[in-house]
Amino acid sequence: MPGFTHLHTASGFSMRYGAAHPERLARRAAERGMDAIALTDRDSLAGAVRFARACERAGVRPLFGVDLAVRREAPEPGRTVRRRTPVRGGAFIDESTPRAVFLARDG
């Protein structure tokens, strides 16, 4: 896939959203002939160092980013916001916040 670059890739450092090890992401990108791949873990840059080292070994250019929740405006004064309760036997995870992917750029 020369010329193609994944710009939104989650690793196992994205709790509940990714499972691949940064080393495997880099290795697979190299196997497919990609010259670059981005790591955009959810709310974290925890895998960035391992990813950079793995990309260097695999000969793939690492791109760095993050998938962040973007805060909505505060509710109007006097208006109450009712939180949903969790389903039986599980924790409630609020997925209503919009998200945006930010990619780093040098110079």
How many independent structural domains does the chain possess?
1
Torsion of CA 95, 104, 2, 99, to 10 degrees: 10
pTM across the whole model: 0.76
Yes or no: say if 62 and 89 are a contact pair by the CB < 8 Å rule.
no
77 in a structural domain: no
What does pLDDT average to over the chain?
Answer: 86
78 in a structural domain: no
Domain of residue 46 covers 1-72+83-107
21 in a structural domain: yes
Any idea what the CATH number is for the domain that residue 24 is in?
3.20.20.140
100 in a structural domain: yes
30 in a structural domain: yes
Least confident stretch, 39-43, 58-62, 77-81: 77-81
